[in-house]
Structure 1
Amino acid sequence: MKKILIKFLLSIAGGIISLIIFEIFLNITGIYDKKEIVFETNYRYKLDKRLIYSLKPDNVSEWETDEFHEEVFINSTGFRNRYNLKLGNYNETYRIFAIGDSWTFGHGLSDGFTYPELLENILNQSGCLNKEITVINAAVPGYSSDQSYRVIDEIITPYLPDAVIWNFTIGDVDDMLGPNPSLYDLDKENRLISHSGQYNWLYAQSIIHKFTPRILRKSNLYNMLVANLYSVNPDNLGKSRTESEILDYSVNKLKAQIKNWQSDKGKNTILIITRLPALADFSADQNQRYSYFFNNFVRMLKEQEIIYIDLTGQLKDDDTDPRRLFFKNDFHPNENGAKLIASILAKHLCEILPPMVNLPE
């Protein structure tokens, strides 16, 4: 028994020494570049069993770079809004929810300068709905279309929204083709199959990172193992589909999500789909994957008679220099971009939403 214990301890010691040697090797050679882990700075997000992660309620945070100083307030309901919401319908106000990722959230923009807040101000000043309008920013940075749909279906719906603006960007296309975990799949009849937010590599990565001592987080070896968990994700194994097959599948899944929501929880809500601009949209050598997806996506929306507003196309037709609309070292809209997005979208909404009254010149 004593010999077995000694062998066991020696094996553990040998393993630890091997790991230390490998860590030293990585440090000396520099052959491994550390990758970002989602919860590296857990100042704004919390783990969420349904959504993988979500915004921390009642939270104030700041982020400063050479280009911007971002100040963000998250209310008690988990939305980026200066006031809290109550469940149910209030006839004196018209509720519009904006959902999406960092473009909608307002990456790099402080409260008061995001497009949802600017949109609310423009609509109320126009008086085009003859009632007070509230635009709620329900976006979360980094969210995939699956996560956004779950927010619409499970979080937003109880607030009885009058309209939902679901924003898409080329970032969503990259998410579809990347290792991002899926919250939904389709069965053979193209019906939605819902998955928990817990059973995927991103949630596991965050759990491991959360409970790992800080001294170990600095290790190259630790980062190599944890940051690459997606490579052993069961969803990514045994699949060798082409880009076009993945994007076609994604369009079919979005079709099922929209039909599922509109036929049940969202049947009394106006759904508006938009394409928000990114700096790469104005590049002459834009990747063809984006055109392929949006062409098929828009065709599906027209077949389903869903309202679609292409803000990217309208900005391309505008004479404004696109470099004025985005951060110089980033691909997100700056204050100028957010103002223009809100202005163009407001004109469309005043024509779409009842009563139809044009914006003043």
Structure 2
Amino acid sequence: MKQHQIQFFVNISLSCASVLFAFVFLELASRTYGNMWQFINFSGVFLQQPDIPFDSVSPAVYDATSGWIPRTGSLSLWGKTVTILENGVRSNGLSSTNIPDAPRILAVGDSYTFGDMVEDHETWPAVLEQRSGIRVINGGVFGFGVDQAFLRAKILLDVYQPNTLIFSLIPDDIYRAELSVRVGTNKPYFEIDNGKLVLRNSPVPQQTTTHRQRDWFRKISGYSFLIHSVMIRLSPNYWIEPGSSVRVHHRGSEVANLLMKELKRLTDERRIRLIVLIQYDILTISAYLKKADRLREFLEEQGIEVIDLQAALREISTTDPSRYERFFNKVGYHMSAEGNAFVAEQFEKAFKSR
């Protein structure tokens, strides 16, 4: 082999080694920055195994009423402590041991209520409990739509008999009410027949097969937290749930309105204070903001208390962008401990002023 050919291969090898070294360095840096040391395929965080919905990174078990609920036990997820108590409610941490058992607040909702990516004591229900001195039951469940949160509220109202019910949602939860399958997992849903809600997929069919497959790019690169952090921002729909949801209608806003109306009737009968808390993720698009605006208008027309964080978050994003960015975890979706503290603070102010 000639000298120039040898030099060519040496240069190629050195270039490849440099690229590999740089990638490994950035991968380790991103995992350190995000405190994420699990070796999993991040592109499949919602990829299902039969009968175990959301179990790849979220502790869940099948539930015939709502599709899935958190699995009882304590484990480490996202480098954080996650403790699930009886009835699938999340612990508020050790700080809750000195809180009187009554009066009680019950909080239901999705992963923003459950507290993805934070410690037990850093969820907004836990912080609200610490600030108010009132027992707060965290009945949030990752991945829930407004339909599932409604069904869970009906069950937990009987179990805990709270004085106040907080129904929390992000705008995307309204869209989720249009699905019979979400990220590969069967769920209940409501249709509207002659102006009335009709529950479908009840009991929820158990999983028998997976609903999606990763393509070669996600199969290989999904194990990189660095690539995950980029793709979750550039193309979250492709990265997280391509082709894994089944949309059965386009009436999510109407369903949400009727569910809130029914929930008001149920809470009024029991003399329970109902408050709807509208939260937002950092990736909320304008179309979903319109859904939230329409829901807020309907709630106000029905005389339902609503706390909408849109204006407060928008003000901070304008006046203090760095603080706003700190409200969300480094993966880009869920709220950080600081963000949850802000939610609890905003809620407590509104709660006490009414």
Q: Same fold (TM over 0.5)?
A: yes
Are 1:278 and 2:281 matched, yes or no? Answer: yes
Give the match for residue 49 of structure 1: 64
Q: Distance between the aligned counterparts of 1:302 and 1:82, measured in 2?
A: 31
How far did residue 219 of structure 1 move? Answer: 11
Q: Structure 1 residues 325, 77: closer, same or farther in 2, change over 3 A?
A: same
Query: Aligned-pair RMSD on alpha carbons?
Result: 3.0
Q: 1:194 aligns with which of 182, 199, 215?
A: 199
Give the match for residue 14 of structure 2: none
Structure 1 segments, 4+ long, off by >6 Å, are 217-220
C-alpha contact (below 8 Å) 1:94/1:162 kept by paired residues: yes
Give the match for residue 340 of structure 2: 338
Q: Distance between the aligned counterparts of 2:107 and 2:311, measured in 1?
A: 20
Give the match for residue 79 of structure 1: 89
Deviations 1:4-62 (A, max 9, x none): xxxxxxxxxxxxxxxxxxxxxxxxxxxxx9782344528711111111111122x1121
Give the match for residue 189 of structure 2: 183
Amino acid at match of 1:262: K
C-alpha contact (below 8 Å) 1:75/1:82 kept by paired residues: no
Q: Structure 1 residues 323, 264: closer, same or farther in 2, change over 3 A?
A: closer
What SS does the aligned partner of 1:118 have?
A: helix
Q: Distance between the aligned counterparts of 1:159 and 1:344, measured in 2?
A: 25
How far did residue 182 of structure 1 move? Answer: 4.4
Unaligned runs of 5+ in 2: 1-42, 94-99, 220-240
Q: Distance between the aligned counterparts of 1:253 and 1:193, measured in 2?
A: 10
How far did residue 93 of structure 1 move? Answer: 1.7
Q: Structure 1 residues 176, 78: closer, same or farther in 2, change over 3 A?
A: closer
Q: Distance between the aligned counterparts of 1:82 and 1:294, measured in 2?
A: 28
C-alpha contact (below 8 Å) 2:171/2:291 kept by paired residues: no
TM-score, normalised by the number of residues in structure 2: 0.67
Q: 2:47 aligns with which of 23, 26, 36?
A: 36
Amino acid at match of 1:191: K
Q: Identity of paired residues, percent?
A: 20
Q: 1:315 aligns with which of 313, 316, 319?
A: 313
Deviations 1:227-280 (A, max 9, x none): 98857x6x64xx6xxxxxx2xx22222222222233245531111111113212
Give the match for residue 27 of structure 2: none
Q: 1:96 aligns with which of 80, 87, 105?
A: 105
Q: Distance between the aligned counterparts of 1:95 and 1:154, measured in 2?
A: 15
How far did residue 149 of structure 1 move? Answer: 0.3
Q: Structure 1 residues 332, 192: closer, same or farther in 2, change over 3 A?
A: same
Amino acid at match of 1:290: Y
Deviations 1:47-81 (A, max 9, x none): 11111111122x112113xxxx2211111232002
Q: Distance between the aligned counterparts of 1:136 and 1:158, measured in 2?
A: 11
Q: Structure 1 residues 42, 50: closer, same or farther in 2, change over 3 A?
A: farther
The count of corresponding residues between Structure 1 and Structure 2 is 266
Unaligned runs of 5+ in 1: 1-32, 84-90, 125-132, 210-216, 240-245, 282-286, 353-361
